[in-house]
Amino acid sequence: MQQIFNFIFKNSILLLFLLLLGISLSLVIQSHSYHRSRSVTSANAVSGYVYQKINDVEQYFSLKTENEKLAAENAELKKILYNGKDSIATTTTPTAVTGNFVVTQSRVISNSFGKRDNYLTINSGTNDGVKRDMGVVSSLGVIGIIENTSKNYSTVISVLNTRIKLDAKIKKNNHFGTLKWDGKNAGFALLTEVPRLAEVNKGDTIVTGGRSVIFPENIPIGKIEKVFIDKKTNYYTLQIRLFNDMTSLDHVYIIENKDIQEITTLEAQTTANE
């Protein structure tokens, strides 16, 4: 017994180091596993408050460009309104799609785009009805999916994150693929697993697909920049130039699918019955 105490006393610094390293490594591993929410995020009162204060100052520098963006979006919406039942022009607005979607607005208070796994912080939380797995879009296109929420703030997995996978399709011929990010350039994403029989051209528009329960169909994502053929699988891999400038985001919209509960329970029952 005496020896055990002696051992602990002699190596107390080493043991403390191993304990702290163990805690931090378990946090790291937890953050790298896909379907687990992380425990240390910026969606909390302290960092949310700090980022809000920084943003309160910074927003004045981008007032002009933000106003222009909002005016352009208003013009787009007015165009849809005045053109009545023009179903071709309605693709830029989530509300034009049949479904049970609720849209609320929010603002980005912290943004990252230089790492391989990027997250945004927005200033809406559970008090505003934000929940995990809601979609986040801007007037130009898809931004990400809500991950963690606190009372007044939420973190968003950005499309610039190697762990995100979105269902997307080529707008003109409805061929589906999976949208990923390769961790390299903040302006581009990849659309993988597009079948070879699909006709793809440089400049074709990519939009969200209809299989997702998070995003409505036909929200714009980007344009085809380059076409590759995956040598192993013989599928197309398309490099997509994103419509959004992910390095300067301010006003965003949060999309809630009211039917998500019904769909997921139905799917869970179906798979359980098999």
Partner 1 sequence: MNSTVITNIARFILLLAVQVFIFNRINLFGFINPYPYILFILLYPVNGSKAGLLLSSFFLGLIVDMFLNSGGVHAAACVTLAYLRPTFFKFSFGISYEYQTIKINERLTPERFSFILISVVTHHIILYLLEIFSFSLILDILWRTLLTTVFTLIISTTIIYLIKPGKQ
Chain contacts with partner 1 (rule: CB under 8 A): 12-13, 16-17, 20-21, 23-28, 30-32, 38, 40-42, 44, 46-47, 50-51, 54, 110, 112-117, 119, 121, 155, 183, 186, 247
**Least CB distance to partner 1 at residue 205 (A):** 25
Residue 59 three-state SS? helix
Comparing CA positions, the residue from 146, 141, 116 lying closest to residue 131 is 146
**Least CB distance to partner 1 at residue 136 (A):** 15
Q: Which is nearer to partner 1, 92 or 150 (CB)?
A: 150
**Lookup: tokens for 244:** 């959004």
Rounded to 10 degrees, the C-alpha dihedral 233/196/190/90 comes to -150
* H helix runs in the chain, sequence order: 2-10, 12-32, 45-58, 63-82, 260-273
Residue 29 three-state SS? helix
Q: Which is nearer to partner 1, 27 or 70 (CB)?
A: 27
Q: Which is nearer to partner 1, 110 or 124 (CB)?
A: 110
Q: Which is nearer to partner 1, 51 or 236 (CB)?
A: 51
**Least CB distance to partner 1 at residue 201 (A):** 29
Any residues with CB less than 8 A from the CB of 213 and at least 6 apart, and which?
Answer: 257, 259, 260, 263, 264
Q: Which is nearer to partner 1, 124 or 208 (CB)?
A: 124
Query: How many angstroms separate the CA atoms of 130 and 157, rounded?
Result: 14
Query: How many angstroms separate the CA atoms of 246 and 207, rounded?
Result: 17
Q: Which is nearer to partner 1, 92 or 237 (CB)?
A: 237
**Least CB distance to partner 1 at residue 13 (A):** 5
Q: Helix 12-32 and helix 2-10: axis angle, to 10°?
A: 70
**Least CB distance to partner 1 at residue 65 (A):** 18
**Least CB distance to partner 1 at residue 183 (A):** 8
Asked whether the beta carbons of 96 and 86 are under 8 A apart, the reply is no
